[in-house]
Amino acid sequence: MTLIASISNFSYPVIIGDLLTSSSEFNKDFKLPTFLQGIEKYLPENSSSYPTKLIQKTYIIKNNLVVAIAGNYLKNKYFIESITNFFKEKECKESSLVEFINEYDESEFIDTAYLFLFYEKKQQGFLMNFMTTGDYWNTHKSNLFGDIYAAGSGSSDFITESKRYNNLIGFGEINSENRAMSASLSLISGLLATESFSLETIKKHWGAGFELISFNEKKQSFYKMNELTYIIWKGRINNKTKDIDLQPFLVLGYKYFENILQINSYNNNKYERFGVLPINLNKDDVDINIFPEKVEFYNNLILNTFIIDLPNGETTTPSVICSKGNSNIGAVFINMKDDGQLEVGISKTVTTELLRQINEQNNA
């Protein structure tokens, strides 16, 4: 099962796909980027489906066409091969996309769900449009995210999670595009935090990491968000000093090498590397020389979710995104030392502003 979703973001759309693939056979060697210890004992008893591997579920077919896949593995593989071949020499317009869908064998849409996002140049500018197949969609209108479409075993929980975000807890330069991207990334960071502590997504056969595709208006092209680092912090408000005591619990570094996603995971003093392939690529096809020898994390865009225990016994989970060059709002930095130790730092400016907003929220 799976989770694929689109967030309209009020003209700054994002396509989201999880990475988990399940099967009826249990893979005892399977590990999660968010949870490096064995997961067998945490899964529901008498489960008929088990996490088995990680696979990409979002694809840029043309610079103006994105698809996301869910459902039957073999049908999804055939679908990606079919739509890639169809548009290899053909321009993507609404008419040609409708042509592809109409000509596609209807039986292949059973036990699957497909999401299409494309743009087309019109006299009035660029038209951005969503299309879906299958009857498995949940929808929601959000004041923060706009229109949300989601399919798969995680669709209901994904929408429920989105409802927690009425406003962004964060700071820095804010414009419409930054706000849209920050909202989407904060939502994903929060889901990763929940998974790393409770495995709630995995128990329902979705999660294990997420890809995000957005649109570059200047280049008029879709792109996969790259060189992201997620940090999940565990902390508490110190009763004596009233400051926040923080400790990084999970660090995930996402980067694409050619069309393969590499995830570097630091979890509870353990390191692990994961390679996430497109569905139409086999492990034997991969040239391992494209990957760096050293484990890397990235400082360009760091997405922080804080799990903070409050003095009243409640827990708050704010998110803060720090991008390279935003020195006016402080910084979070990551450095892999030569001896293999990971350094993670956070400036006083960030923690002070974070504490101010938590106090403001609790006093509201």
Could you report the per-residue pLDDT of 77-119, keeping only the tens digit for each?
A: 999 999 999 999 999 988 999 999 999 998 889 999 999 999 9
- Whole-number percent of the chain with pLDDT over 70: 92
- Does this model's pTM top 0.95? My answer is no
CA nearest to 150, candidates 166, 132, 169: 132
pLDDT band at 164; cut points 50, 70, 90: confident
CATH 3.60.20.10 maps onto the chain at 4-224
Q: What is the mean pLDDT of residues 31-46?
A: 82
- Whole-number percent of the chain with pLDDT over 90: 45
What's the confidence (pLDDT) of residue 173? 44
pLDDT tens for each residue of 286-295: 988 999 988 8
- Class of CATH domain 4-224: alpha beta
What's the confidence (pLDDT) of residue 178? 63
Question: Residue 144: is its pLDDT beyond 80?
Answer: yes
Question: Residue 60: is its pLDDT beyond 60?
Answer: yes
